């Protein structure tokens, strides 16, 4: 045997998983989902940009992860945690862009309990130049409802074979204010709202320090962001995050300072903003494995991925 004991267990699990009926359906759903979303955005006039895996800058995120850096040709590179900054750079050239972007986030171990965290996953990440939060929320509602209608029609028998019945939500989706939700449900408001809902819903108006520095502060309501999360119904939790972006130099610097971060870590964005070259934009990212998990009605996200990267495990 060439493989070690831990890896051998993973290989045995894989051999069972790959031929299971659930995995056959999951990968068929995955294929249809990516194709539907790509075609939808193509029809909406989007340009697809290739994903970035290594870069000197990446998303700081709003929670700690292990951050490996690699030295290549004498320069430091990080693994992409999200393409947020590359999206802001891409809209300097194209009005509407998207990417199926692999993200690497070495999540804290306790996140494995959520059933919706992997340490490698793919986001459909998109950005629209000069768009408002309402514009991209409406785009998401068209895309999401269209995808569900497509799945109900095209994948009905496959989904029935794993005991899943999907419904098609009507737009606009309900909007709930972050602070109102927290007051009503307490700290676990996201899970509670998701569990109690039969349709997807938005969380809006998130307080400044609860999100990253690049989410735009509402000029009319200081300390409140022009961003949003989309929650799946039936307890599947967060589907997507997005919003308008900070693009003015002074505001970007103020926000980085408030997060006690180092502008050097975001040098490309900061330098271009100082030259007045960053433009207003809005966008969102939606995790593909979570989406497949929801459509299939699986208990855990790893059931929706062929080679799932589960925090804490040795995975092939
Ligand atoms: P974020 O901007 O951090 O909210 O990430 C955008 C989207 O990516 C989330 O709404 C999820 O759908 C997905 N996502 C984020 N982190 C993970 C993870 N560790 N595993 C799987 N999907 C994730
Ligand atoms: Mg989020």
**Domains in the chain, start-ordered, CATH in brackets?**
5-172+245-304 (3.30.930.10)
CB 239 within 8 A of CB 287: yes
Write down the pLDDT at residue 56: 95
Write down the pLDDT at residue 22: 98
CB 293 within 8 A of CB 30: no
Mean local confidence (pLDDT), 167-185: 97
Is 10 strand, coil or helix? helix
Atom of ligand 1 nearest to the CA of 285: 6
Write down the pLDDT at residue 165: 96
Write down the pLDDT at residue 106: 96
pLDDT category, 66, cuts 50, 70, 90? confident
Structure confidence by residue, pLDDT tens digits, 238-293: 999 999 999 999 999 999 999 999 999 999 999 999 999 999 999 999 999 999 99
CB 272 within 8 A of CB 280: no
Supply the pTM of this predicted model.
0.97
Residue 67: C-alpha distances to residues 10, 64, 119, 151, 288 (Å): 25, 9, 12, 37, 23
Nearest CA to ligand 1 atom 19: 117
In whole angstroms, give the CA distance from residue 289 to residue 29.
10
Write down the pLDDT at residue 109: 94
In whole angstroms, give the CA distance from residue 242 to residue 212.
11
Atom of ligand 1 nearest to the CA of 242: 2
Write down the pLDDT at residue 1: 73
Atom of ligand 1 nearest to the CA of 230: 10
Write down the pLDDT at residue 76: 94
Structure confidence by residue, pLDDT tens digits, 153-171: 999 999 999 999 999 999 9
Nearest CA to ligand 1 atom 8: 287
Mean local confidence (pLDDT), 91-97: 98
Atom of ligand 1 nearest to the CA of 229: 10
In whole angstroms, give the CA distance from residue 24 to residue 231.
26
pLDDT category, 6, cuts 50, 70, 90? confident
The 3-state secondary structure of 199-237 reads CCEEEECCEHHHCCCCECECCCCCCEECEEEEECCCCCC
Q: Select from 106, 103, 101, 102 the least CA-distant residue to 68.
A: 106
Tracing tokens 């709930």 back to the chain, one arrives at 176
pLDDT category, 175, cuts 50, 70, 90? very high
| Among 227, 241, 293, 302, residue to substitute to test ligand 1 (most atoms within 8 Å of Cβ) | 241
Nearest CA to ligand 1 atom 10: 240
Ligand 1 binding pocket, CB closer than 6 Å = 82, 105, 107, 117-118, 121, 123, 238-241, 285-287, 289-290
Write down the pLDDT at residue 296: 98
How big is the CA angle at 44 (ends 43 and 45), to the nearest 5 degrees? 90
In whole angstroms, give the CA distance from residue 135 to residue 150.
23
């Amino acid at each position: 045997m060439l493989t070690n004991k831990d890896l051998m267990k993973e290989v045995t699990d894989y051999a069972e998983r790959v031929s299971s009926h659930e995995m056959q359906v999951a990968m068929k759903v995955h294929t249809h989902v990516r194709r539907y979303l790509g075609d939808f955005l193509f029809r909406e006039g989007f340009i697809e940009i290739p994903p970035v895996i290594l870069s000197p800058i990446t998303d700081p995120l709003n929670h700690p992860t292990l951050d490996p850096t690699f030295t290549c040709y004498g320069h430091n590179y990080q693994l992409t945690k999200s393409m947020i900054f590359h999206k802001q750079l891409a809209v300097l050239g194209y009005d509407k862009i998207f990417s199926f972007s692999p993200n690497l986030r070495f999540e804290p171990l306790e996140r494995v309990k959520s059933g919706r965290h992997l340490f490698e996953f793919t986001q459909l990440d998109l950005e629209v130049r000069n768009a408002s939060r309402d514009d991209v929320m409406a785009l998401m509602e068209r895309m999401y409802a269209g995808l569900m209608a497509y799945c109900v029609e095209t994948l009905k028998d496959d989904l029935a074979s794993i005991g899943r019945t999907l419904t098609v939500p009507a737009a606009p989706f309900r909007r709930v204010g972050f602070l109102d939700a927290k007051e009503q449900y307490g700290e676990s408001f996201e899970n509670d709202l998701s569990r109690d809902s039969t349709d997807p819903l938005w969380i809006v108006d998130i307080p400044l320090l609860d999100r990253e520095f690049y989410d735009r502060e509402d000029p009319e309501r200081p300390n409140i962001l022009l961003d949003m999360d989309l929650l799946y119904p039936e307890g599947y939790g967060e589907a997507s995050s997005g919003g308008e972006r900070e693009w003015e130099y002074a505001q970007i610097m103020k926000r980085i300072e408030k997060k006690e971060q180092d502008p050097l870590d975001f040098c490309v964005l900061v330098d271009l903003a100082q030259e007045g070259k960053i433009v207003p934009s809005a966008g969102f990212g939606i995790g593909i494995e979570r989406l497949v998990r929801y459509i299939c009605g699986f208990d855990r996200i790893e059931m929706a991925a062929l080679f799932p990267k589960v925090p804490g495990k040795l995975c092939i």
